[in-house]
Structure 1
């Protein structure tokens, strides 16, 4: 039977962490999972925007269980501080939704000197996930869902120019960061299986959805009105992967419709490069070196 939001199970006693929970796909995922009884940790860079999002959800569902926590994925010190707070206050983490991201800005750098898109979209989530492994293992079959994009198809991993010192093209670097997201999720799954770990890693993409990420695209408002699905529907693959028994570890899910632009969740196409284990192994090693976060029990 095709999945619908009505199939989201009762999530009472489940703890969920969603990055970028204050807007777009993160906000919709937060709302859906909280309404099914989950305790949702809203990890947001901007506390005021996070509070506004929390108030928005509670206006329609006053009894939801939410906790707003500040997290800047472009700052490794913020990631470490945030992970320590989670580790200190939560006995387990059932679902980690690596959702936050930046799309195609002018050349910028993170506090640690990484190109902003690779540093935030990939390295930030790589570090966060690694620092939360103990709490994920404490849950029964925890799921880590990492949001990639159709743009992974235009990306390549230029290990000699990750810092953009040899040139920067914002869409190419966005594609690189989203390819890294997908390759991380697939390599994470391979390592978890090899270690016989109970954590499950799944990747998703939202198709083309009307969210505030498109604000960097000239004429985006008209284009969204004509072609995009709603951010509510764009969140369906994330919610499906986070909760459905049909979602399998090591898979990639997105909309089933034309060119995977819109529709209900289904298995998505993965380009050959994203399956290249040699490149994935190098990406993993580089990511550990750049972030200083090592997955000690998942060496290959």
Structure 2
């Protein structure tokens, strides 16, 4: 894997200037790939790109500046990508957000949900679908987490914190569970692309440290960055026939998606019903845009639905 030549491949990594996204970017650039690093902050993004270029000697590393919590910025970044590339071979949706206090984006959504699901996963990958379909072996990977084992998706109103008190730990859990569901559902809608979710293991990053808090001591020793991204990097570049679309991976292998029940049954505590999953997809279509399997997501018209009140 370390000697693989990716000189003919094109990849997109979000949240690419730090943590897991940076480590994945370094791997791809080091193998010669054309790489687009989606970063929220231009200064930090350009600095990371320049460092990776210097480190790898690969001049085909570029930045796309976008806050993935904002639909308008995701659309702008994907339009720029489409103007520069004829195809994309793989996307790693790594960027996310977890705020200690409830925050609402200017577009009216809770920030963690907007960045990790609505726009940073569903919208971004949907907009890239025409480019992905021009690849012989496309795939999209959603960076989920073992944190998703702590619950099922509670419904949009709860995940968007429209009434309940905000809890940053559960905001994270809800998004990570939803990413697993999203990979399953998009596999049905666009089966010619591999849709995957993945747990990097308990890796020492600022995001994980912030989420676990004092609980981090129970998961020692934590993984270093390369240990966390080795399996993800493999998923990004391996032959597609070695992957099963819709699955949740850790260390190159599909994992169970739910906490076990009695007598080795799958359990239902973390499992959403078919109706709940259908409702989630319906809300994504309504709030973000309808997923068109033959093309990019079609945006909703502003004002079609009531948006939550900013706080």
What CA distance in whole angstroms lies between the structure 2 residues aligned with 1:225 and 1:56?
A: 32
The correspondence for 1:103, drawn from 98, 106, 118, is 98
TM-score relative to the length of structure 2: 0.83
Match of 1:270 among 236, 242, 257: 257
TM-score (norm 1): 0.85
1:53 & 1:117 partners in 2: Cα distance?
24
1:218 shift after superposition: 7.7
CA distance in 2, matches of 1:218, 1:176: 15
User: Per the alignment, in what secondary structure is the counterpart of residue 68 of structure 2?
Assistant: coil
CA distance in 1, matches of 2:250, 2:117: 19
CA RMSD of aligned residues (A): 2.4
Give 1:56-205 correspondences, 5 Å limit: 56-103=51-98, 105-124=100-119, 125-159=121-155, 160-167=157-164, 168-193=166-191, 198-205=192-199
Which ranges of 4 or more aligned residues in structure 1 deviate by more than 6 Å? none
**Gaps in structure 2 of 5+ consecutive residues:** 259-267, 298-311
* Alignment-derived partner of residue 240 in structure 1: 234
Could you list the per-position Cα deviations for residues 47-85 of structure 1 after superposition, in whole angstroms to 9, with x for gaps in the alignment? 111122123223321235201110111111111111111
1:220 CA displacement: 6.3
Q: Structure 2 vs 1, CA of residues 102 and 35 (structure 1 numbering), >3 Å: closer, same or farther? A: same
CA contact (8 A) 1:93 1:139 kept: yes
- C-alpha distance in structure 2 between counterparts of 1:38 and 1:224, whole Å: 38
Distance 1:218-1:162 versus aligned 2 partners, 3 A rule: closer
- Between the aligned partners of 1:221 and 1:47, the Cα distance in structure 2 is 33
Q: Which runs of 5+ in 1 are unaligned?
A: 256-264
Q: Secondary structure at the match of 1:227?
A: coil
Residues matched between the structures, number: 281
